[in-house]
Amino acid sequence: MIKRVLIVASFFTLPFAAVSQGEKEDPTKMFRDVVPVQVDRSKFAPATPPTPTVEATTDAKGKKKKKVEEPPVEPAPDTLSPMIPAPSAEIVKRAQNWYMEKNTKFTKTNGSNSGKSVSCNVQFVYKQKLLNPENDVDGKFTMDVIIEAKEGKYRYTVKNIKHVANKQGMSGGDIYAKIPEAGSMAITDRTWKHLKSDAFACAKIVIDDFKAKIAEEVPDNKDEW
């Protein structure tokens, strides 16, 4: 009876193990890196509270004491760096600001903000630059962008880079695939190489764009009267 239970248990466990292994991300099919971020210490470091002073005005017999003024103490020289690691909330704020701003080269949709990370889908309109292209693969590139924040740094991931053609049956699909989704008969090796190169160039544009935005402080848009 015990052997049967073990056999049944292993029967149901193996498929789930296979699924969990299949869900692991392939680092060779994405752009991923960790970027350090520092901010101005004078703006983000907590202010040092003044040292409280207690002055006795009367002695034990209730008589007034003569107030003795202590000479002013010169502050110690500030030897700390003017920059400190950026708070994670500040990095998320900057990433959210990047998502909200419009870009003329690509569009951002399906944005989400968990408080610790910002993610969205990016889409580029794709049109071949060749005068007489071999294949009708005009369409778009799509990719997922994830920005995860920790104190002093963030990790970005650009993955699921795909080509989707306007013409049915001409999509390349996963840009990391050796053979396009439409097949090598529909999309030639030369066209597939061009698609890969252009898709990677688009991913680089996105990365450079959010890197520049997260490196900058979000401007204060409050109206001053």
> Domain count of the chain?
1
- Identify the CA nearest to 147 among candidates 130, 122, 174: 122
pLDDT category at 55 given cuts 50, 70, 90 is low
Q: Is residue 124 included in any domain, yes or no? A: yes
The confidence score (pLDDT) of residue 41 equals 82
Q: Residue 83 carries which side chain, given as an amino acid letter?
A: M
Highest mean pLDDT among 9-23, 75-89, 124-138: 124-138
Better-predicted residue by pLDDT, 151 or 49: 151
Q: Could you give the CA distance from residue 21 to residue 16 in angstroms, rounded to a whole number?
A: 9
Q: Is residue 3 included in any domain, yes or no? A: no
Q: Residue 41 carries which side chain, given as an amino acid letter?
A: R
- Identify the CA nearest to 205 among candidates 124, 129, 149, 127: 124
pLDDT category at 225 given cuts 50, 70, 90 is low
Q: Is residue 143 included in any domain, yes or no? A: yes
The confidence score (pLDDT) of residue 14 equals 43
The confidence score (pLDDT) of residue 121 equals 98
Report the CATH number at residue 205.
3.30.530
* Average pLDDT score over the chain: 83
Contact by Cβ (8 Å): 139, 123 = no
Q: Is residue 137 included in any domain, yes or no? A: yes
Q: Is residue 209 included in any domain, yes or no? A: yes
Q: Residue 62 carries which side chain, given as an amino acid letter?
A: G
Q: Is residue 54 included in any domain, yes or no? A: no
The 10 Å Cβ neighbour count of residue 74 is 6
Reported residue count of the chain is 225
- The residues near 137 (Cβ < 8 Å, ≥ 6 apart) are 126, 128, 163, 165, 167, 170, 172, 187, 191, 195
Contact by Cβ (8 Å): 84, 44 = yes
Q: Is residue 171 included in any domain, yes or no? A: yes
The confidence score (pLDDT) of residue 20 equals 40
The confidence score (pLDDT) of residue 31 equals 97
Q: Which domain holds residue 184?
A: 28-40+82-214
Q: Is residue 93 included in any domain, yes or no? A: yes
The confidence score (pLDDT) of residue 8 equals 38
pLDDT of residue 18 exceeding 80: no
Contact by Cβ (8 Å): 124, 105 = yes
